[in-house]
Chain A
């Protein structure tokens, strides 16, 4: 069956540009997570959706970061006015159950964002 997919896989943006990263979770999965992974580090939590509701956005580093999941399936992470420190791999994960990070998460391959 299809796993979590993310697009694009690679994105190069000039500093100041806006970018939009897409996540297609596993069909029927209630929970959706976004993480940021810097080179050589573990993923860092950004935000969590239960269906269409964004229940935790405490990890978003600034108000330039915005995420949505309007119909409870596909999600988009938008970064406005990108900065060099935004360069990282952005990972999306989904989980069958609600309740946040208390169940197995299935990760996509990530989008590698490079800001020049």
Chain B
């Protein structure tokens, strides 16, 4: 939606550097996790997902790490580009119909 990112935690990185966005989830019963990217004026866009039987999953320039012991999820973006600037949400599912989104982190890439 519009004006996404107001009052959100912000991560500022230099173009070409790697970015790491962290997320703590609360429900130990959650077994499916997703990262979404949301640009201003648009709906969230799927980036990558991971199920609880995995610790790590890689995509194109992105890696998701899951630590179930401490209920922590992270998204790593390699060689960050200006087009990566957006708000990033982690989301979780406990096996039901509902997806629970986190509060979001705004990534700002400096050229």
Contacts and interface: CB of A to CB of B under 8 A. Distances in A.
A79 interface: no
Interface residues of B, number: 31
Contact of A44 (B44, B93, B101): B101
Contact of B95 (A102, A105, A106, A112): A102
B98 A93 contact: no
Contacts of A39: 1, 3, 6
Give the one of B2, B8, B42 with max A CB within 10 A.
B2
Give the one of A40, A59, A89, A109 with max B CB within 10 A.
A40
A8 to B, nearest CB: 14
B44 A107 contact: yes
A80 B41 CA distance: 25
A18 interface: no
A91 B43 contact: yes
Interface string A74-100: 000000000000001101010000011
Given A108-B43, A109-B41, A89 B100 contact: no
